[in-house]
A and B are shown apart, each in its own frame.
Chain A
Amino acid sequence: MRLSWMIGGAQGTGVDTSANIFGNAVAKAGYYIYGSREYFSNIKGRHSYFNVVISDAPQHSIETKVNILATFDAETVFQHFDEVKDWLIYDKALEPMSMDKVRSLEPEIAEEQAAILEKAGFGLTIADIVKYLNGKGVKTIAVDYGPLMKNIINQLKMDPFIAEKARNMLCAGVSFGLLGLDQQGMLDAIKFAFSKNEKFLNLNTLAAQSGLAQAKSAYSLKELPKQGHRVQLDGNTISAIGKIYGGLGFQSYYPITPASDESTYIEANQLLDSGKGDKRGIVVLQTEDELAAINAANGAALTGARSATATSGPGFSLMNEGISWAGMNEVPVMVTYYMRGSPATGLPTRSGQSDLKLALNAGHGEFARIVIASGDHAEVFEDAILGLNLAEVCQTPVIHIIEKTLANAYSVMDESTLAMGSAKLERGKIVFPEEPEAYKRFEITEDGISPRAFLGHAQMYYTGDEHNEYGHITEASSNRTQMYEKRIKKLDTASKSIPDDKKANIVGNSDTVLLTWGSPKGAILDAMEDLKADGINVEMLQVRLFSPYPKELVGKALQGKKRIIAVENNYNAQGAEIMTESLLISPTHYILKWNGRPMAKDEIANAVRDIMKNDTKKVVLNGGK
């Protein structure tokens, strides 16, 4: 069972809040949820929307069509009417509103949407859209938002300007009514969200009740049996919690979308119980720029604190030189790289996978680095801890890639998926030298990793120049040869110490394999279920570790496959290019999408069908608004 709901509205009118509360309410009834957020680089007024997928089994993707489209403004109707399958909820008062009156609608989108209506012989008002949809079998609910809100305002004697903001909850209430679940669940979710503000609790409760009264059950969902605990977590938060659990002591950042929420979450929760009744505080430093962010993190790492920063493409570009210094000085520092639409400012609030090769090559020079890419929220948690471990074990910079798709999406998942009990922290070769004046920070060793002492515990020197074992500058050629090799061969140690399941995921068994990384994993897994129903069996190979590249594992998995379909959110299939570079084999087909929107499961399923049937070499996806 899978049901898809979308709510839209102007940024700043509570789209995000209502989607979180709606999802929470449905989840309380025992359903799994995947919620995905789309928004403009704008504070107030531009169109944003939230997809919420409801199921009795864990879900990891959206689809291009939704069962219910919930709206309380005109723009959402105009922009998304062609995506709705079952129900449209809209504001009755907006029926005469015409598409050309909505100035914030992007002209390209307005043109496309108008063409659909014109082709079917309809005008451009909301009333026309309602007629058009009714003709296609979509049911509509006209909500009298104005009078209903007026009642609430009179009842609460509230400032209308503030109270009108609860239209979002009225809209969510109508939606929840359609599901047919016990209405108390919605009210409980509101109580949970507004427990600290009685005024808003009352307002939103009344708005939801008013909405609930507008709809009759259409889907007759039943409360499902519940076992254990479930949590609702977005990508920024789960990364933050993973880092905290992984022993993070210092985090620096410069504000940037979609990375900052991680740092502000850590700061808000910086004081933690650390066992034996002790507290420990994580230092979170907002720096003047990303140059300072990476280098402050480098400095912190030298003191023995687990240290990290979080950024996105433009900030990461500025961090290049600092990453190079970390490579040269074997600094255990982690950069959480929230990948968004590049290049330059690109699509700052949309997603993309176009910076993989930047992550792999950032910073001048050759040196060991670890690059990990997470495919879902549970992996983000695991990888945050793994990244902090590998940084110390290998004494190298670690780059942890989380795309915007995951950062701003949330999953309702079983708490047990996070496997908190089995998490281990490994700190590698740490020493407190007995002869601190004789300490060699860069001692040549068999595996390339030197015993690491912290600043304050031994006499030591760091330098970006080529250096000897003590860390003093030398340009001697024999030393250069040895030190250079030392800094790179550490990757062999990393390769040996990382378990196979952290290097790549293989799901299914078929001679057709979808080769991917990062967030497309979710859409592929969900699409595989649909394809199976059509009798199409495919396999997924999701690469999680890009440096050191799991050549052997991937090579073995791809051996003898009839089709290798590269699935990525970029133009060049960068992840597959890395595979080709390592194994000298190329994908046979491509499913690519670079419009900034996440992959939808039906897009993947259709593309696979197309490839299987027509041998289409490259399918370019363009779903999502």
Chain B
Amino acid sequence: MEVNEAVEFNDWCPGCGDFGILRGVESALAELKLDFTDAVIVSGIGCSGKLPHFVGGPISGVHTLHGRALAFAIGIKLSNPSMKVIVDAGDGDTFGIGVGHFVSAGRRNADMTMIVHDNRVYGLTKGQAAPTMPMGEKTKALPKPNINGPINPVALAVASGYTFVARSFAYDTTLTKELIKQAIQHKGMGLIDILQPCPTYNDINTNEWYKERIFKLEDDPEVHDPSETMAKMTQALKNAYMPEDRIPVGLFYKNEHIPTFEERLQANIPNYMEKYPAEQEIEENGSPSTSIAKLIESKRVF
């Protein structure tokens, strides 16, 4: 049998943080026993976008357009809510060209997982500043220091309504894997912002730079009762905006008291979780099986 394996040649730069994220994704899928029958990876554009093609293991991948991974993902998820949908995108994808989708995904809280490769640069176009690069920073590819302020992914996720918000470091593959697993198992929309060096274009935020600053969060991030929501959100924002001499990683916020988008749909379509669009029979021997008799009758003049 000819087997559809991942492409043999991985063309990321040596030392790229993407490798750590890839290992994290592969291990999480393996430990959760997820494959193409129940999961799909939806990616954006750039180095990160190639990830589904590189995953070793029986998974399906949808490598979409720049910024639009979340848009494709919501269509897949709502048509087939039985699937675990894992979105994998870059910082430019997510917080630049696609930031509207990022915010809207929080408002919906569909049961999906978003992994962001956050290296602060646009690697595949030769190192321009990404939306997560701090103001004033001048990596070697920039002609002038960055004069845009940065987006704080964790804070934006909390403010947008994400119900699982985490940060990891690409070379900590154990933490990355654990957080991906938790996010997949979480009921609702999850973000894991993964800090990663770009060894080719980011000569400031290097592996060593991160290792000197990173520490593991110890706070309990979970909303155990809805009354704690404000306190836990405040705590998450405080941790998110910590000055960069110390960078916390781990879980910032978790809240399973918010209904998912699928649950909200189910209120209108009672059998939605069994008869979702991908599972609907629409014809019988070629004849439409949907009855429009009532719709037509309501428009009858006589």
A interface, CB within 8 angstroms of B: 24, 27-28, 30, 226, 229-233, 237, 241, 244-247, 249-250, 252, 269-275, 278-283, 285, 287-289, 291-292, 294-307, 321-322, 325, 385, 412, 415, 418, 420, 423-427, 435-440, 454-465, 470-473
Instruction: Provide a sorted-by-A list of 26 A–B residue pairs whose CB atoms are within 8 angstroms.
Output: A241-B292, A249-B277, A273-B294, A274-B282, A280-B280, A281-B268, A281-B271, A281-B275, A283-B265, A283-B272, A291-B67, A299-B75, A299-B77, A299-B79, A302-B76, A303-B83, A304-B79, A305-B278, A307-B277, A321-B65, A437-B4, A462-B61, A462-B62, A463-B53, A465-B63, A470-B4
- Stretch of B12-20, B33-41, B142-150, B190-198 contacting A (4+ beta carbons < 8 Å): B33-41
Task: Find out whether the CB atom of B268 lies under 8 angstroms from the CB atom of A438.
Answer: no
Task: Find out whether the CB atom of B301 lies under 8 angstroms from the CB atom of A281.
Answer: no
Task: Find out whether the CB atom of B284 lies under 8 angstroms from the CB atom of A249.
Answer: no
Task: Find out whether the CB atom of A231 lies under 8 angstroms from the CB atom of B76.
Answer: no
Task: Find out whether the CB atom of A275 lies under 8 angstroms from the CB atom of B53.
Answer: no
Task: Find out whether the CB atom of B53 lies under 8 angstroms from the CB atom of A473.
Answer: yes
Q: Pick the most buried of B37, B38, B288: most chain A CB atoms within 10 A of its CB.
A: B288
Chain B: which residue is nearest A410 at the CB level? B299
The one of B42, B61, B77, B286 in contact with A426, judged by C-beta atoms closer than 8 angstroms, is B286
Chain B: which residue is nearest A413 at the CB level? B301
Task: Give Cα A83 to B275, complex, Å.
Answer: 55
Task: Give Cα A297 to B71, complex, Å.
Answer: 9
Q: Does B225 contact A (CB under 8 A)?
A: no
Please encode chain B, from 75 to 94, with 1 for each CB lying within 8 Å of some chain A CB and 0 for all others: 11111101100000000000
- Chain B's interface size range is 35 or more
Task: Find out whether the CB atom of A460 lies under 8 angstroms from the CB atom of B36.
Answer: yes
Given contacts A27-B301, A299-B72, A473-B50, contact A231 B65 (CB under 8 A): no
Task: Give Cα A247 to B288, complex, Å.
Answer: 7
Known: A295-B71, A325-B65. 10 other contacts (CB 8 A): A231-B299, A231-B301, A232-B301, A241-B292, A244-B292, A273-B291, A415-B296, A435-B1, A455-B278, A464-B63
Task: Find out whether the CB atom of A295 lies under 8 angstroms from the CB atom of B65.
Answer: yes
The one of B2, B52, B78, B296 in contact with A461, judged by C-beta atoms closer than 8 angstroms, is B52
Question: What are the residues of chain A within 8 A of B231 when measuring CB–CB?
Answer: none
Task: Find out whether the CB atom of A249 lies under 8 angstroms from the CB atom of B282.
Answer: yes
Question: What are the residues of chain A within 8 A of B103 when measuring CB–CB?
Answer: 288
Task: Find out whether the CB atom of A250 lies under 8 angstroms from the CB atom of B78.
Answer: yes
Q: Does B179 contact A (CB under 8 A)?
A: no
Given contacts A292-B104, A298-B72, A456-B38, contact A275 B61 (CB under 8 A): no
Interface members, chain B 96-128 (any A CB < 8 Å) = 100-101, 103-104
Task: Give Cα A64 to B288, complex, Å.
Answer: 41
Task: Find out whether the CB atom of B296 lies under 8 angstroms from the CB atom of A295.
Answer: no
Chain B: which residue is nearest A464 at the CB level? B65
Task: Find out whether the CB atom of B79 lies under 8 angstroms from the CB atom of A249.
Answer: yes
Task: Give Cα A371 to B64, complex, Å.
Answer: 24
Task: Find out whether the CB atom of A279 lies under 8 angstroms from the CB atom of B271.
Answer: yes
Chain B: which residue is nearest A415 at the CB level? B296
The one of A269, A292, A322, A325 in contact with B295, judged by C-beta atoms closer than 8 angstroms, is A269
Q: Which 5 A-B pairs have the closest CB atoms?
A: A299-B75, A247-B282, A281-B269, A249-B277, A305-B277
Q: Pick the most buried of B50, B59, B278, B291: most chain A CB atoms within 10 A of its CB.
A: B278
The one of B4, B52, B75 in contact with A440, judged by C-beta atoms closer than 8 angstroms, is B4
The one of A244, A300, A459 in contact with B78, judged by C-beta atoms closer than 8 angstroms, is A300
Q: Does B281 contact A (CB under 8 A)?
A: yes
Task: Find out whether the CB atom of B286 lies under 8 angstroms from the CB atom of A472.
Answer: no
Task: Find out whether the CB atom of B277 lies under 8 angstroms from the CB atom of A270.
Answer: no
Q: Does B74 contact A (CB under 8 A)?
A: yes
Given contacts A435-B1, A458-B36, contact A295 B72 (CB under 8 A): yes
Question: What are the residues of chain A within 8 A of B230 when measuring CB–CB?
Answer: none
Q: Pick the most buried of A289, A305, A321, A440: most chain B CB atoms within 10 A of its CB.
A: A305
Task: Find out whether the CB atom of B300 lies under 8 angstroms from the CB atom of A229.
Answer: yes
Question: What are the residues of chain A within 8 A of B3 when measuring CB–CB?
Answer: 437-438
Task: Find out whether the CB atom of B42 lies under 8 angstroms from the CB atom of A278.
Answer: no
Task: Give Cα A440 to B35, complex, Å.
Answer: 17
Question: What are the residues of chain B within 8 A of A436 when measuring CB–CB?
Answer: 36-37
Task: Give Cα A83 to B281, complex, Å.
Answer: 52
Question: What are the residues of chain A within 8 A of B7 when measuring CB–CB?
Answer: 472-473
Given contacts A270-B269, A459-B4, contact A300 B79 (CB under 8 A): yes
Given contacts A280-B280, A455-B60, contact A285 B271 (CB under 8 A): no
Task: Find out whether the CB atom of A456 lies under 8 angstroms from the CB atom of B37.
Answer: yes
How near does chain A come to B126, taking the closest CB pair, in angstroms?
19
The one of A294, A307, A415 in contact with B300, judged by C-beta atoms closer than 8 angstroms, is A415
How near does chain A come to B130, taking the closest CB pair, in angstroms?
20
Task: Find out whether the CB atom of B61 lies under 8 angstroms from the CB atom of A461.
Answer: yes
Task: Find out whether the CB atom of B4 lies under 8 angstroms from the CB atom of A438.
Answer: yes
Question: What are the residues of chain B within 8 A of A288 when measuring CB–CB?
Answer: 100-101, 103-104
Task: Find out whether the CB atom of A245 lies under 8 angstroms from the CB atom of B75.
Answer: no
Question: What are the residues of chain A within 8 A of B301 when measuring CB–CB?
Answer: 24, 27-28, 229-232, 412
How near does chain B come to A195, taking the closest CB pair, in angstroms?
11
How near does chain A come to B163, taking the closest CB pair, in angstroms?
18
Task: Find out whether the CB atom of A325 lies under 8 angstroms from the CB atom of B1.
Answer: no
Task: Give Cα A463 to B69, complex, Å.
Answer: 11
Q: Does B68 contact A (CB under 8 A)?
A: yes
Task: Find out whether the CB atom of A303 lies under 8 angstroms from the CB atom of B79.
Answer: yes
Q: Does B73 contact A (CB under 8 A)?
A: yes
Q: Does B212 contact A (CB under 8 A)?
A: no
Chain A: which residue is nearest B278 at the CB level? A303
Chain A: which residue is nearest B6 at the CB level? A472
Q: Pick the most buried of A281, A307, A471: most chain B CB atoms within 10 A of its CB.
A: A281
Chain A: which residue is nearest B75 at the CB level? A299
Task: Find out whether the CB atom of B74 lies under 8 angstroms from the CB atom of A246.
Answer: no
Task: Give Cα A135 to B270, complex, Å.
Answer: 66
Question: What are the residues of chain B within 8 A of A458 when measuring CB–CB?
Answer: 36, 60
Task: Give Cα A161 to B273, complex, Å.
Answer: 47
The one of A272, A275, A278, A283 in contact with B277, judged by C-beta atoms closer than 8 angstroms, is A283
Chain A: which residue is nearest B299 at the CB level? A231
Task: Find out whether the CB atom of B75 lies under 8 angstroms from the CB atom of A252.
Answer: yes
How near does chain A come to B274, taking the closest CB pair, in angstroms?
10
Chain A: which residue is nearest B289 at the CB level? A275
Chain B: which residue is nearest A325 at the CB level? B65
Question: What are the residues of chain A within 8 A of B4 when measuring CB–CB?
Answer: 437-440, 459-461, 470
Task: Give Cα A357 to B292, complex, Å.
Answer: 34
Task: Give Cα A585 to B296, complex, Å.
Answer: 44
Task: Give Cα A278 to B45, complex, Å.
Answer: 41
Given contacts A232-B301, A306-B282, contact A299 B71 (CB under 8 A): yes
Chain B: which residue is nearest A462 at the CB level? B62
Question: What are the residues of chain A within 8 A of B265 when measuring CB–CB?
Answer: 281, 283
Task: Find out whether the CB atom of A456 lies under 8 angstroms from the CB atom of B36.
Answer: yes
Please encode chain B, from 255 to 287, with 1 for each CB lying within 8 Å of some chain A CB and 0 for all others: 000000000010011111001111011111011
Question: What are the residues of chain B within 8 A of A30 when measuring CB–CB?
Answer: 302
Question: What are the residues of chain B within 8 A of A438 when measuring CB–CB?
Answer: 1-4
Chain B: which residue is nearest A242 at the CB level? B292
Question: What are the residues of chain B within 8 A of A427 when measuring CB–CB?
Answer: 283
Q: Does B290 contact A (CB under 8 A)?
A: yes
How near does chain B come to A147, taking the closest CB pair, in angstroms?
34
Please encode chain B, from 135 to 146, with 1 for each CB lying within 8 Å of some chain A CB and 0 for all others: 000000000000
Question: What are the residues of chain B within 8 A of A423 when measuring CB–CB?
Answer: 287-288
The one of A230, A252, A455, A470 in contact with B76, judged by C-beta atoms closer than 8 angstroms, is A455
Task: Give Cα A463 to B62, complex, Å.
Answer: 6
How near does chain A come to B272, taking the closest CB pair, in angstroms?
6
